[in-house]
Structures are given as structure tokens and as C-alpha cells.
Amino acid sequence: MRAKVTIGIVIAAGILLLVFLSSGGGEESVYYYTPSEILAQKEVWPNRLRLRGVVTPGTIAVSKAGIDLCMEVQDEADTLHVRYHGTVPEALREGLEVVVDGRIREALFLRDARPAPADSDMEGQVVGVPAAGADPDPGRPTRLEGTVDPASLRIVRGESEAAWLALGGGGDIVHVRVQGPARDLPRPGERVAYEGRLEKGLLFEGSELIVKCPSKYEPATGGDTAGRPAEAL
């Protein structure tokens, strides 16, 4: 009788272990990549990944429908630009830790962007027409022309606003972060020109987004803009 009881206990314990393992065994059983790890391990780029990091203050932009999101996610050393399509959690705030499930791909960014003067003699590049097929020179200023894509999102910040512009033309997209008075920010379909540094970078396209428990982390430091909704352009 005692042997049967012992066998029963062993079987029950085995079942519980299988249930635990099949459920993921807790958060620690799933491996998350930080921005630094993704940037350093090119061999993992073709795989589906889970990105874990902190939302960079001042970078969240959400569509009016709440199903499109742009933001930057950082760790102690590096930052990744994230584009997410899906229901945006209400708990999302800058400065909180998030987990994003998705894939990495190369993309073009215009850094330190500013509106190009009409009389600028800087060498220009129309989006979708690569300059001689060469990779962008990150140290070389570039004049970029393109049409504002409907995928562009605006960050609401009171009288002054910022926006993630997706400039398109010929099938290519260049991601540009601009800031200024709300009345000066371009609208979808508008033709614009900016000067800056054209660079290749990484874009993390997410399909699942989890916001970690806010009670474990520092509150957002964005003043009265923290947690405010953003809108599509």
C-alpha cells in the first residue's frame, strides 16, 4: 500500500512538472534580448526575437485608433527604434520596462533632421533613388526629399510637438524624427525636404507588446506629458 502511495505521489509530481514546463516555467525560462545584445549578435537577426528594455522618454507616438505605435527602447548602452502594430496597452509609459515580440530588419534613418532651406545647395537624395547605389555615409550631411507617409505618427507635447515621419518614395521609407510648433509639422501626403545625416540602422517590428509592472520601476519623468495620448498626423 505504501509503495502505491509513493508511486502516486511521483506521478502527480511529474504531471505538475510537465504543466509548469509547458507554461514556460515562469518568466525566467524565456530568453529576452536587450538592445545591446541584438546589435552585437547579427546571427540572431533572421529569428523571431523578444526585445526587453526601457521606453526612452519623449519617443512614444500612438495612432488615434490606438493600434499603431512608434517608440525607442533602450538599455544602459544602446537604443532600438520599435514599430508596433496591435492594441497598445493603456499602462504604456515612458521610462517603464517593456517586452516586445517581433523581428529585426534594416532601415534608413535621417538623424539630426531639420527643415531644408529652399535655397539650400546641399546635395539632395530623393527617397527611393539611392545615391549611386552606395551605402549612406553617416558623416556626410544629406538633403532628403520625400512624401509624408500615412504611417507617420505625432507625439503630443503641448504647444511644441514632435513626430516620427515616415518619408516615402519609390517603395522605400526613411524614418525621421522632427520637432517644432504643431502648426509647422507636415501632414500625410505633403512633400517635404529635410537636411541631416542619412544612416542605416535597425528597426524592430513588433507584433506583441507587454508592459512590465509599473510598481517595480521608476515613474515616468516626462512632466505633464508623461502618459498623455499621442495622435496620428
pLDDT score, position 104: 93
Element (H, E) at 51: strand 49-55
Q: Same domain, yes or no, for 22 and 54?
A: no
The H or E element that residue 3 is part of is: helix 2-22
* pLDDT at position 188: 84
pLDDT of residue 25 exceeding 60, the answer is no
Task: Specify whether 39 is located in the same domain as 23.
Answer: no
Structural domain count of the chain: 2
User: What is the CATH number for 196?
Assistant: 2.40.50.140
Assess whether 12 and 106 both reside in one domain: no
* pLDDT tens column, 67-100: 788 899 999 999 999 999 888 888 898 899 999 9
Same domain, 13 and 52: no
pLDDT band at 37 (very low <50, low <70, confident <90, very high): very high
What is the rounded CA–CA span in Å between residue 92 and residue 55? 9
CA atoms within 13 A on the CB side of 10: 6
Q: Say if residue 63 is in the same domain as residue 23.
A: no
Q: What share of the chain is helix, strand, coil (3-state, %, to 5)?
A: 20, 45, 40
Judgement on whether residues 219 and 146 belong to the same structural domain of the protein: yes
Q: Tens of pLDDT along 175-196?
A: 888 877 777 788 888 988 888 8
Q: How many CB atoms lie within 10 A of CB 176?
A: 24
- Mean pLDDT score, 142-159: 77
User: Would strands 231-232 and 153-155 be described as parallel, antiparallel, or unpaired?
Assistant: antiparallel
Q: Which domain does 102 fall in, by range? A: 31-233
pLDDT band of residue 123 (cuts 50, 70, 90) is low
Same domain, 6 and 57: no
Whether 96 and 113 map to the same domain: the answer is yes
